[in-house]
Each structure stands twice: as structure tokens, then as C-alpha cells.
Amino acid sequence: MYHVKNYINGRLTETSSKSNIDIFNPSTGEIIGKVVNSNHNDLLEMIEFAKKAQVTWSNFTPLKRSRIISKYKNLIEENIEDLAKLVSIEHGKTLDDAIGSVTRGLEVVEFACGIPHLLKGEFSLNVGTNIDSYSFRQPLGITAGITPFNFPAMVPMWMYPISIACGNSFILKPSEKDPSCSIKLAELFSKAGLPDGVFNVIHGNKNIVDLILENKDISSVSFVGSTPVAKYIYEKSSKYGKKVQSLGGAKNHLLVMPDANLDQAVDGIIGAAFGSAGERCMAVSVAVAIGDIADNLVDKINTKSQNLKVAPWTDSESQMGPVISKEHKEKIISYIDSGINEGAKLVLDGRKINIQGYENGYFLGPTIFDSVKTNMKIYKEEIFGPVLSIVRAKNYEEAINIVNNHEFGNGTSIYTSDGEIARHFTTNITIGMVGVNVPIPVPMAFHSFGGWKNSLFGSNAMHGIEGVNFFTKLKTITSRWPKSIKSGPEFKMPTN
């Protein structure tokens, strides 16, 4: 059994806290390790190191910072399978899925390597007579990120590489359910030459989260998680004067038009609904079957889903692993029970799956409901598991209204061969991230990730240029250097 410590000032650090949190193997249900449940003193110690380190780090030229981040990128590439294995052991997702998630995070590190270009300011000559105006962006100071269990490598890398590239120090509070990958990422950054104290990792529960939100030395908070918690993070952080980017839950719809390539749509739906056991904020949890294709679509999804290989990550043929915890498995089962009780048609039941040798693991099979109505609990709420709801719509107009009327606005997609429909959909859908014949429209690192409505609190999306703007503050200078300056005050608004 191993013990995961905090990473403070470039090293693993003992804590004064005597409290620990169990780490489980989701495939077996066994306790495999413990992670420290940090206290206030641990955070205060970390902040003091981060504060001193940030002053030095912010004075590194952007080019010098970029070179260190470039070395870090190389180290992640060299250690990508080790990082992925840490994810699979503690989260349970398949190794291929874990490698893919680390790779998507690595893309943000690659984007951050371009920070000398990204931090270029603006200059205007002669905005007035002999007066020039220019602007540039400066770091915030100490920044913090609070990240979820479902992507213990990728989601933190949405945050800290850009923050650090901009000249900030960063405190990461990862999920206590799968904390080991964050420590490995921090160690690699130190190995790349990052000064001690710039990147720190603290572990704990809600108590540490609240202490981060309340601390006056922390300038910004980044968060990804459920909508109730995202709203709480946003409101409390704002109360304490922090910049906040807070991403919440989702109920992502995939529309299938009658003219769509049905086999492509089915493959897209199955991968997006059941990949990573449905534990991702961009999972497709609602398929909207439009017109007379519904029966055929349901049959094809059901037939292919029955053949999915559900197994632990150590099985190289596994296509879907367990969910994260016993409690979460029970919560998902309660949603399935609710769907049955409310009258949805249960096409495929994943509750009774049994894997020999892993009877105590947190496994669920793919679950499919047909004829789901928009007033049902399984439609309205985020389940965060391998449960697909199929809603039938008479036509495109009804389908787009269904999507736009949902409280969440994270992601959506449409499968169609009609360019006019696709263009209308992308223009008129009230969702932040939209795909056309793409099941999971996650933006690349040089674009920004963020939803609308109750999927995003505040106006700050993750990574891309929005990430750079979030982790910096704008300063604008207006200057005049005449040979002589008139004496006496001026009382009118300067106009020339």
C-alpha cells in the first residue's frame, strides 16, 4: 500500500496532518493506497513558497519560460505510458483511453510553448499629438486549480501549463480519488528545470477547497466538475475577489437526421456514450432520433452495444472499465431505476454485469433507454455514467428546440448530409461546443473549451487564447515624451 504526499517547493513533503483518505482500485474495490488529507498549515506553507517563487519566475523572459516548458513537453512524451498507467490504476479507464487523455493534455503544454508570441502586446503610434499608447499582459500571482476525478491528467493540464507560462505560480488540488498522476506531472516539471515552488500539489477534501477559495494571496481559481459545485466555486471565489473560470455539468445531445450515414452515427454515439464509462463532461448522454429512422437507429445501437467488452484496464481487449467508486455506481443504478419507474423503455440493462474475478469491482455495462421524455429525471439530470437516453423527435425543428430548452449547454453534435441543416444548427444552437458529424466536439488546445448556460459560470473558458487572457491582467500605457511640457493643469478631456 502506498501513500501519496503533497508536492511543495519542488519535493514530496511530510504534513502535520494525521488524516488520510483511502484510494481504491475501481476494478477490484480494494484499498490500494492512502492520500494525505491536508490541513490549513499545509496550504499556508505552500502559499509562502509559491509567493516567493512567483516573483523570481515572473522575471524569467517568456522565451526562457518557453524553453523549460518545451523540455517538460519532451519528458511527458517520454513518460506518457507511465502517466497513463497511474490514471488507469486509480481511475479504472482503459489504458488506450488514459493515453489518449494524457495526449490531449500534452497538446496544451505544446500550446504553452508559444507563450512569447501569445504575450505580445499592442502598440498605437500617435493616438494624440506626440502621444503613444500600448498595452501588455502581466501575470496574476498565485493561481489555483481544483480538478475532477475523471481526467486526472488532462484537466489539470488545461490549467497549469498556461498559467505557469504566463509567469504565475500554481497550486493544484486534484481529486483525492486518483491523486498519483498529478504528483508525477509535478516531478517531471521540476526535472525539466522549473524553479521550486512554481508548481505545487496539495491533497485533501472540501475543507482544503474552501481554504483555497478564501485565501487572499490566491488571485484566481480554475475548476471543472458538477454544476452545483461549479456554481458554489464561482460564487464563493468571486466573493473573495478572485478571477474564476468554473466549468459545470452537461447533458450533451447528438442529433441524427434522416439523411445521415446511420452506421457512422451509431459508431459515434456508442463511443461517445460509453467511452470512459460515460464519466466525461463531453459524453453523449442523449441521442435524438429524428423522423422515421428511430427504430433502425435504436436497433443498431443496441446490437453493437451488447458486444462491448467491459473489463479491467489490464485486459488489453477492454473497451470500457469500471466507474470510479461504489457510491457512484449505486447513484447510476438509482438513475436507471428511476428511468424504469418513469416509463422509459429499457432496451439494454447494464446493472447485472458480472466479471469473473472482479465481482467487487465497480463495473456497469452499457445501458440504453428508448422513448425518453424531456420531463424524466434521466433526461434532465447529468448521470455521469454509461447510460444513453434516446429521445424521438418528429422533425428537425422539434429536435433543435429540445436541445435549446435544456438547462445545460456544454456540447452537442449533429449527424447529417445536408449542409444547409448543418449551418443552421451551428448558428442557432445555444450550446458552447458544437460538432457536425463529429461525436465529441472537444476543441484543440489552441482553441478554447467551455459551454454555455449552466455548464459555465462566469465568462472564462479553458485554454487557448481565453486561457492566456484569464491567467493575465491587462495593463495599458499612454505616454508622451515632448521636448518640453506645458506648465499648468488642463481641465478638459484630452482629444488630440
Catalytic residues: 281
| Contact assessment for residue 201 and residue 6, using Cβ atoms and an 8 Å cutoff | yes
In DSSP terms, which residues pair with 243 in a beta bridge? Answer: 220
Q: Strand order of the sheet with strand 30-36?
A: 2-4, 30-36, 20-25
Cβ neighbours, 10 Å, residue 489? 5
Specify the pairing of strand 387-393 against strand 284-290. parallel
How many CA atoms are closer than 13 Å to the CA of 151, on its beta-carbon side?
26
State the Cα–Cα distance between residues 459 and 76, nearest whole angstrom.
Answer: 31
Q: Which three cell numbers stand for residue 53?
A: 517563487
The three-class DSSP label of residue 297 is: helix
| Contact assessment for residue 468 and residue 158, using Cβ atoms and an 8 Å cutoff | no
Q: How far is CA 489 from CA 389, 484, 493, 494, in A?
A: 70, 15, 12, 12
User: Grid cell 484543440 — which residue?
Assistant: 444
Q: How far is CA 287 from CA 47, 49, 185, 370, in A?
A: 46, 49, 36, 9
State the Cα–Cα distance between residues 415 and 289, nearest whole angstrom.
Answer: 10
State the Cα–Cα distance between residues 255 and 252, nearest whole angstrom.
Answer: 10
In DSSP terms, which residues pair with 390 in a beta bridge? Answer: 287
Q: In 177-276, which residue ranges form alpha helices assigned H by DSSP?
A: 180-191, 206-214, 227-239, 262-274
Phi-psi region for residue 275, left (φ > 0), alpha (ψ -120 to 50) or beta?
beta
Backbone φ and ψ for 394, nearest 5 degrees, come out as -70, -35
| Contact assessment for residue 177 and residue 23, using Cβ atoms and an 8 Å cutoff | yes
The three-class DSSP label of residue 495 is: coil
